[in-house]
Structure formats: structure tokens, C-alpha cells
Amino acid sequence: MQLSSPIILTVCFMDQQTVYELCHSCGAVFYQAHPFREPCVPRNPEFLDGVEFNQRPRSGNHNDRLSRWVKEHPDLKFISGSDCHNLEQVGYGGIEVPRPVCNARELAELLKETQVKLILCEHTSL
């Protein structure tokens, strides 16, 4: 899918493959946020670049299920985020990058080329 002019897209009603192809046609990457939190269960890993390990405490993030699932799909990459909803939740997750990143395009390129180092809480294991 190629975008030839600016348009407003409603991705909520697109299937996973279409969103994946749209992301790639725009130079973006497609990572599944909150995997295994209903209704966000990963459907087809073939149409994902990676998944997020959600580090927010007491969020029902299902990282235990995700840790098992990613072993079945070794081609996927990972990111980590704190998904903070208040100040007490800041800093529980994130990524370390090997070089400075100045914008979203640079971050997408970095995520395409390498597995970034995850900042994880003690309650998450890969």
C-alpha cells in the first residue's frame, strides 16, 4: 500500500496485515503494545516487527505469557515502556539505544536494524 497524498486513515478497522504494510510503506515499524491484555492479543507474528514488554506496575500486563510467546517467534524484536499514568509509575521501563535519536524516523530506522537494550523491572524476565 502506497500513500500518494496526505489522507486521514482509520486504522482501528483495518486488519493486522494492512496496518503492517501501511506502516512499512511510510517507513514506520509496527510493534504490538500491551500484548495479551484483552483485546490486544497478538494475532499473526508474521505481520509484526516486534512487541512491547509493558513495565507499568499492577497493570495486568501479562509479561509472563509474553515471555513464553516470544520464544516461539524468535524473529520478533522487543521494546519496553513504563506506560505511566501517574508520577509514581515513571521510569519502570524503557529502552537504551546505541546512538542519539533525534526524531521518529531515526527511531524507526534504529528499531529496524537492531535489538535495543530493554530496561526491565525485576518482575519481568525474558
At 102-112, the pLDDT tens digits run 999 999 999 99
Mean pLDDT for 75-98 is: 82
Amino acid 5: pLDDT? 47
Q: How far is 119 from 94, CA to CA, in rounded Å? A: 5
Percentage of residues in the chain with pLDDT exceeding 70? 83
Domain map (residue ranges) of the chain? 30-119
Digit-coded pLDDT (tens) for 7-44: 556 777 889 999 999 999 999 999 988 887 777 777 89
Cα atoms in the 13 Å half-sphere on the side-chain side of 15:
6
pLDDT at 59: 66
Kindly report the pTM of this predicted structure: 0.78
Residue 125, Cβ density class (10 Å: 0-12 exposed, 13-18 middle, ≥19 buried): exposed
Q: What average pLDDT is seen over the chain?
A: 82
CB 56 within 8 A of CB 92: yes
